Amino acid sequence: MGGKHDRLSAAEAASVLGWWIEAGVDVAIQERPRAWLGEDAAPAAPQPAAGPPAAPLPEQKEELPDSLEAFRRWLGESSAMPLAHAGARRVLPHGAQAAEIMLVADVPAPDDVAEGQPIGGAAWELTRRMLAAVGLTPDQAYVANVSCIHSPGSRLGPGELEACGAILRRHVALAGPKRLLLLGDGPCRAVLGKRLADARGHVQKVEGVRAVASFPPRLLLEHPSNKALAWKDLLLLMENEG
């Protein structure tokens, strides 16, 4: 090969390649491949060096209000609330700031929605009696839900519980109660990161407020044998701090 031959016929190219293979040369030895049946292809344009991967955009979180009045309006309007969707019914908290006790129940049930309060129906009647047993009136309680959204058939997943926990901690800080009673598994997992069974029997601190976990009133109505345990939880909460 060589001389004036700049192009090879298909037969010549096949003969040369066959000879190379028989000689044990089965890979290209040039720095770039040669187009045996035509002109050399133009070299590919050099690719720019890959830079570092683009940083992900920071997640935009809605700023929580910094006053209780504004926070309660936000609860009634925000689409960022866990379980929020078009047409969802909401049950807003009730009670005064700096209450003797703050009660946090799970997501609203149909009775709560019908009465427009976080704990409604027979569950609220039982709650009233428990408060009276420790010398408190309903007017001395601030009552809320872990999420104010009534969403039948929906459950709070891990991410929603985390979001509810952040919202609820702000709620406690703004409401400023003297004591906090977490009623049920949902509030415990959202605020304490523990199931009710693991949280009961211990005094916790939430935003500097003395807190205790106990059974939700509806569960006590279904399982009255737990009322004695709930009474112990309430007494633990009401103990004077030494």
Q: What is the pLDDT of residue 184?
A: 95
Q: Does the residue 80 lie in any domain?
A: no
- Residue 221, domain member (yes or no): yes
Asked if residue 4 is part of any domain, the answer here is: no
Reported as a pLDDT band with limits 50, 70 and 90, residue 54 is very low
Residue 24, domain member (yes or no): no
pLDDT tens-place string over residues 39-50:
554 455 555 455
Identify the pLDDT of residue 35: 54
Give the chain's domain count.
Answer: 1
Q: Domain containing 156 — which CATH number? A: 3.40.470.10
Please indicate, yes or no, if residue 224 is contained in any of the structural domains: yes
122-139 pLDDT tens trace: 999 999 999 999 999 999
For residue range 58-109, list pLDDT tens digits in order: 344 668 999 999 999 999 988 888 888 777 889 999 999 999 999 999 999 9
Cβ-in-10-Å burial (0-12, 13-18, 19+) of 128 comes to: middle
The pTM score is 0.73
* Burial per residue of 129-138, b for 16 or more beta-carbon CB atoms within 10 angstroms, e otherwise: ebbeeeebee
Residue at 172 is within a domain = yes
Residue 234 resides in a domain: yes
What does R_g of the chain's alpha carbons equal in angstroms? 35
In this prediction, residue 151 has a pLDDT band, given cuts at 50, 70 and 90, of: confident
| Domain-embedded: residue 42 | no
Give the confidence band of 17 by pLDDT, cuts at 50, 70, 90.
low
- Number of C-alpha atoms within 13 angstroms, CB side, residue 16? 12
pLDDT in tens, 181-229: 999 999 999 999 999 999 999 999 999 999 999 999 999 999 999 999 9
Find the domain containing 225 and state its range: 88-238
